[in-house]
A and B are shown apart, each in its own frame.
Chain A
């Protein structure tokens, strides 16, 4: 049976099971089934069926995160909308989508009274293709002519970006897809005046100069990977101005949804890997160090390539964990002693080898790392193990692995689980951060007295506001925090920057270092003075530093800010969500008293003249 036939059978079975789960009143289970059985490459008609199933679900009631997305393009995108709604829901959103009328993109963006602005979008996707840039220069034109044309095209994009950034929208713009045919033939990309030369220069310039708050979707890469002749279908361009063939809409919608997930903190964070036949060929316990396939021969080379890919994911901030049915000393042997291994023991934040049920082990890994199961991707060559994890942990993304290790990388990449919109120093050091945390836990085991343990950590906090260095990190932390997030707010970077300038608002961040290392930025707050009250509008903290006295330190910091502002009361808000039960009792524990309710939030107050909270965290003034 050809591969795509297997896929269609699997998808049809998934659709039937999802339909049954939704009909049985368990829409969450239905979504999990669809996430496992459909992908970007799933047949367009099947994706539409899946989308119709999901349209019948109340996503907001499932606790999914609301998002308002406007799409403004100069081509027909109607077939993308239901699929984008589908992939956004699968990614964890409760989406509302507005599509601007055909070919009104620029007017909609620039006119503040347009339906687009009335819609009050969180995210605006400027759907451009190569047709939207006037980049044709005459054959033989000088390089300057082409550079000027590119500069003008970028200025035109910037005008639109600026209009949207002023409204604090996250902007998605496309890198241009290259046309499949060109009368200049090879010269279109090889001559200094060629159209493809111009588009490639435009794309590179956009990537080099896009400001914060503008995210670029690499449309050309999507088109090339999917196949340009499938990506664009001239019949539908002439019939109905579809710049992307209708049956390629799913590929586009999936990519956009994963990018938005990355921009809004819903990308996956951790890759849990099986070892035998996943990171090397064969079984280390049976075949031994010399017998496993790693590095020599085609199969061995494929495993080295997969390891190198995984290592590169780790280097850009994805946490790695191992989950193997093995004796611990045996499982770690290749990483310690095999000459061709790319991954080393220190690349894994958590290493679990044993004989337990893998669903239990994956759950234990998530608990150890203090991350949600919905942040985990599980990779295992064994279909039985995948099935067990799927069955017991529907939140985990389980990758359907092909038989041939040469295709492992493509299988993992197909889900676009780890899309990000930026990269910072903390991303590079993330596995180290989590490994340091594991060492803190071991260190704690030596203490009976919690206070003595905390004192021994030598914790020092540095505090500040929304300076240019910390602003993007503050926005990133607020965007991705789900558990320790008292009110669930999701302000954009531009909105936070505006609040930092507002006299009634204070933006605070806290960095923490201790004897085991630098934790980086671990907390952010948005405080709003309302008369005599200083209201804690937003309080997020990294769960890595939970219960170490940072909460008390932070409360004291807020207290000091309240006094500085002459407020008499600190008012805390707690708005319950599906994921933030961890902080439900935070304000009472800090001695705040209930002060009513407000729009779904519970209020708690404490007088500004009370004593600060004792904490083992020292303030680095």
Chain B
């Protein structure tokens, strides 16, 4: 079983790179509403960056329906399992 905390750590790195904010902290409850730059354009960039980091292929529509970072981490954990 992959380490879920490690997944959130890697996601944090990706989020910091994509939104260019070294101090950005994300939690399971973080949603697009919490990050100003997280619009539909940046969402696609984010998905591409997550795909690169976790070496998976995601469906951008599916990811768009995830309600928060926690759901994204769950999805990645399930994919890695």
Contacts and interface: CB of A to CB of B under 8 A. Distances in A.
Contacts of B64: 239
A256 to B, nearest CB: 19
Interface stretch (B4-12, B23-31, B37-45): B37-45
Q: Report, as a range, how many residues of chain B touch the other chain.
A: 10 to 19
Interface string B56-77: 0001110010000000000000
A240 B45 contact: no
Contact of A247 (B17, B18, B48): B48
B44 A236 contact: yes
Interface stretch (A44-52, A115-123, A261-269): A44-52
A235 interface: yes
A239 B48 contact: no
A236 B45 contact: no
A79 interface: yes
A160 to B, nearest CB: 27
A405 interface: no
A246 B52 CA distance: 14
A238 interface: yes
Contact of B60 (A45, A48, A78, A236): A236
A239 B49 contact: no
B40 A240 contact: yes
A238 B45 contact: no
Contact of B45 (A235, A239, A246): A246
B45 A45 contact: yes
B44 to A, nearest CB: 5
A235 B41 contact: no
Contacts of B3: none
B20 interface: yes
A246 B61 CA distance: 14
Contacts of A78: 41
A138 B73 CA distance: 48
Interface in A235-276: 235-236, 238-240, 246-247
Interface of A: 44-45, 48-49, 52, 78-79, 235-236, 238-240, 246-247
Given A48-B45, A235-B60, A239-B64, 10 more contacts: A45-B18, A49-B20, A78-B41, A79-B45, A235-B61, A238-B61, A239-B44, A246-B44, A246-B45, A247-B48
18 contacts: A44-B48, A45-B18, A45-B45, A48-B45, A52-B20, A78-B41, A79-B45, A235-B59, A235-B60, A235-B61, A236-B44, A236-B60, A238-B61, A239-B60, A239-B61, A240-B44, A246-B45, A246-B48
Interface of B: 17-18, 20, 40-41, 44-45, 48-49, 52, 59-61, 64
